[in-house]
Structure 1
């Protein structure tokens, strides 16, 4: 029997318990159903809550200050950020010393052909 935690499980409860109040720098890549790049965005904000059922709730900062954003309950791509300044490509905003960086790819679902009823 292996007592090591599964480091590839979507939800890491120990990490999630430390997230509230932390500053996240989030990279979002939007893809078409066939994998073609549609858009890339970067956002940042403080974690309000992190639960396996509700996901990770952020209060955004910078140009989007006050907005809320929900990330899925998946901590696999969270990485401890190195201290320093991070410049957002699209807006030029600078994020200083975020606690974590995280990336997500969001792929459109393939369109389903209309169903016919016989």
Structure 2
């Protein structure tokens, strides 16, 4: 059973990402949602069986970068892949995200093909 945590301060964007994942044929059995990094940490602690985290950069309370740094500092029994899904598309931001522990990067707006290509390393396709 594949479980994905969507972290974005926009509920609409979380729904768009869910819909796009389903339309591309990627298999996700359950989506867990969080509106910022603090909520995401709570969700990680409550859902230890997460398979992937999709993470926005710019959020209130705790940004995506702060979240991924905090997540990587925890001694979790399983390393959860993190893919940044954000409007921040400069080379410097991509490098910062990867240096902070992100595994992948997808810039908004994205196409279904870009989504499938990026997430295909982490999710199965029907």
What range describes the TM-score normalised by the shorter chain of this pair?
under 0.3
- Which structure has more helix as a fraction of its residues? 2
- Which structure has more strand as a fraction of its residues? 1
TM-score, scaled to structure 1: 0.25
TM-score, scaled to structure 2: 0.24
